[in-house]
Amino acid sequence: MTLGLQGDELLPQLRDVLLPSPTIPTPFKVESGGTGHPPASCDGRRRRRRGSKRGRDDDNGEQQHEEPPRHSCKTSRKMKQRQKKMSSTSSLVTSVPDFDGYQWRKYGQKHIEGAMYARSYYRCIRSAEQGCPAKRTVQRNDDGGAAPKYTVVYMGEHTCTANDSMEAPVILETAVPVTSTNNKRPQNDNDTSPATSAGSYRSTTSTSTSTVTGIESPAAISDITYWSSSSASSDYVVDVYDGCGLFGVHDSWAPATAAASSLQEMEDYFTGPIRSPVHIAATADGWMIDHFLLQLAASNDQPLFPHFSLFS
DNA sequence: CAAATTTGACCAGG
DNA sequence: CCTGGTCAAATTTG
């Protein structure tokens, strides 16, 4: 309601701040469009005969037999042309991989060699209709801590147009402390895939993480606070980015390759007593907000924030 | 019932 | 050959 309005116009900018926009100049990769848009897909791909999964294990001795030829059309091998290097990539470490304002569809999961948890592969939910090349991978870090961290790698830029009003993420301002006791990890910790993201109303396993610890740095938050609660301005991005991009060695946040110490600091900041408003992204329809508030209300007996009211 | 996820197969690069 | 990334049928979820 009162929140969605500004959020709409701030959306693009907001995204830039909250997530590692692919447009950010990053140290790695550069390549001119390079891969551009490889041939969408060659339907001549392999024709797997099972592709099943759970509940279908009776199927034994599959490789014993003469497996059907791996590639039916050997001539079209190169058509595959996997786009390894996307036009841009960026990564960050966050405890809330879902809150990035975009909608993703999981298309695969893979156990990575030295990693303890599997890596999940997502692509923009509109990659099909609009051919949006944006992708991301989410992998839970190997920290046994109470607050699981995820390394999120974004690849490619979003070329899609999110015309759905419901997808506009909004930053909320709250003044509620998030104590470490209440700060439980998102549902099942052995699950490595945070499933769908923010805008997804589907949110299968109620993935809407209970953690509110954001990925924003205190500094960034301040900035966000400013323009999110007041009328929009166009300078904020500059302030936050300051030309360094989110991954610069700024005093702000240093995701990905950041030193463990800073991450720890961030963690403490968010799990400790509140010192400044915490912001969370939410969809315009407010489901996330709802969730968030409910949790806080349930765990704390603190007065609810005066800054906004509950939807529904 | 449609949409999203699961999960092993497939495949290309190193 | 090994490993990571993608595909797509089956299955789950709302």
- Model pLDDT, residue A232: 30
Check whether residue A85 has its CB closer than 7 Å to nucleic acid strand B.
no
A81-97: pLDDT as tens digits: 454 555 678 888 888 77
- Model pLDDT, residue A274: 34
What pLDDT band is residue A109 in, cutting at 50, 70 and 90?
very high
A110-155: pLDDT as tens digits: 999 888 899 999 999 888 888 888 899 998 887 766 777 888 898 8
What pLDDT band is residue A104 in, cutting at 50, 70 and 90?
very high
Higher pLDDT, A291 or A150: A150
A205-229: pLDDT as tens digits: 333 333 333 333 333 333 222 222 2
Strand C bases contacted by the protein (CB, 7 Å): 3-14
Place of tokens 């166009």: A234
- Model pLDDT, residue A120: 94
Using the structure, give the distance in angstroms from the CA atom of A46 to the C1' atom of B10, rounded to a whole number. 6
- Model pLDDT, residue A144: 65
Percent above pLDDT 70 for chain A: 23
pLDDT at A247 over 50: no
Average pLDDT of chain A is: 48
Residue numbers 46-65 of A with CB closer than 7 A to any atom of strand B: 46, 48-51, 53-54, 62-63
pLDDT at A71 over 50: no
- Model pLDDT, residue A301: 36
Question: Which residue ranges have CB below 7 A from strand C?
Answer: A 41, 43, 45, 47-48, 50-56, 82-84, 107-114, 119, 121, 123, 135, 137, 202-206
Higher pLDDT, A19 or A251: A19
In degrees, to the nearest 5, what angle opens at C-alpha A85 toward C-alphas A251 and A203?
70
